[in-house]
């Protein structure tokens, strides 16, 4: 038995005229257009905010060294491990994503090796599943494995002041904090 993967986009729907295709595309919210017309993942499958990447991406640039920075990671094996470096311009209250890293099915040793290059003094925030022990770590919690590999992990997992850890609440706080101001990001290397 063999399988095939066929991707059909709206451009393959030849029964629509160009004008009809344009009307259909315009009927979708901007942040859903790539998913609905080209099959590119949307919210719930890789994307977090209901914003089109073109609306928030900027050209790669260097950021002043005096701007505060923090690293943040999300552990994963089947779903990719991911990390970002955030840089904050206090004058405009703008947070930039300055670096990104994403890799699946790799050990903390490999991830830490790549992330140490971002700077040994970079402080790393991590989720509560970092307290979980893994077979590969022989009973050592994930966050401690990264700490032992030279990453400057914060003492406790990331959480709200009251100890809550709701991902959805955090995302809504970020969206609300920016109001109508655009979220800013820099596509990173993986």
What is the band of 41 on the pLDDT scale with cuts at 50, 70, 90?
A: low
Does the structure show a pLDDT above 50 at 189?
A: no
User: Under 8 Å CB-to-CB from 66, ≥6 apart: which residues?
Assistant: none
What is the band of 137 on the pLDDT scale with cuts at 50, 70, 90?
A: low
Tell me how far apart the alpha carbons of residues 1 and 97 are, in angstroms, rounded to a whole number.
44
- Please state whether the predicted TM-score (pTM) of the whole model is above 0.85: no
Please state which of the ranges 3-7, 62-66, 89-93, 98-102 shows the lowest mean pLDDT: 3-7
Q: Which CATH architecture has domain 54-178?
A: 2-Layer Sandwich (3.30)
- Dihedral (Cα; 145, 148, 151, 153), 10-degree rounding: 70
User: Rounded mean pLDDT of 33-39?
Assistant: 79
* Domain ranges within the chain, ordered by starting residue: 10-47, 54-178
Residue of 74 and 43 predicted with greater confidence: 74
User: Under 8 Å CB-to-CB from 101, ≥6 apart: which residues?
Assistant: 81, 82, 83, 84, 111, 114, 115, 188, 189, 190
Residue holding tokens 């060294």?
A: 65
User: Under 8 Å CB-to-CB from 34, ≥6 apart: which residues?
Assistant: 40, 42, 52
Cβ atoms < 10 Å from Cβ of 174: 13
Residue of 55 and 44 predicted with greater confidence: 55
Residues 47-65 have pLDDT tens digits of 566 666 777 788 989 999 9
Residue holding tokens 């590119």?
A: 40
Does the structure show a pLDDT above 70 at 151?
A: yes
Query: In Å, how far are 39, 67, 99, 184 from 62, measured between CA atoms?
Result: 33, 11, 11, 14
Question: 3-state DSSP: the chain helix, strand, coil percent, rounded to 5?
Answer: 30, 20, 50
What is the band of 185 on the pLDDT scale with cuts at 50, 70, 90?
A: very low
Average pLDDT, the chain: 82
Return phi, psi of residue 35, to 5°.
-70, -45
Residue 186: per-residue pLDDT = 40
C-alpha dihedral sign at 101, 107, 112, 114: negative
User: Rounded mean pLDDT of 23-31?
Assistant: 84
């Amino acid at each position: 038995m063999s399988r095939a993967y066929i991707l059909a986009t709206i451009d393959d729907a030849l029964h629509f005229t160009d004008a009809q295709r344009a009307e259909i595309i315009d009927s979708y919210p901007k942040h859903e257009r790539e998913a609905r017309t080209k099959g590119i993942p949307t919210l719930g499958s890789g994307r977090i905010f209901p914003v089109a990447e073109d609306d928030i991406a900027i050209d790669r640039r260097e950021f002043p060294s005096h701007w505060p920075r923090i690293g943040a990671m999300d552990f994963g094996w089947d779903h990719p491990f991911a990390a970002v470096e955030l840089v904050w311009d206090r004058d405009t209250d703008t947070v930039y994503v300055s670096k990104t890293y994403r890799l699946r099915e790799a050990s903390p040793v490999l991830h830490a090796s790549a992330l140490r290059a971002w700077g040994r003094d970079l402080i790393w925030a991590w989720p509560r599943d970092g307290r979980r022990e893994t077979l590969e770590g022989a009973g050592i919690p994930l966050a401690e494995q990264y700490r032992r590999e030279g990453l400057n992990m914060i003492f406790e997992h990331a959480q709200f002041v009251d100890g809550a850890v709701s991902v959805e609440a955090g995302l809504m706080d970020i969206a609300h904090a920016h109001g109508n101001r655009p979220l800013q990001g820099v596509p990173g290397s993986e």
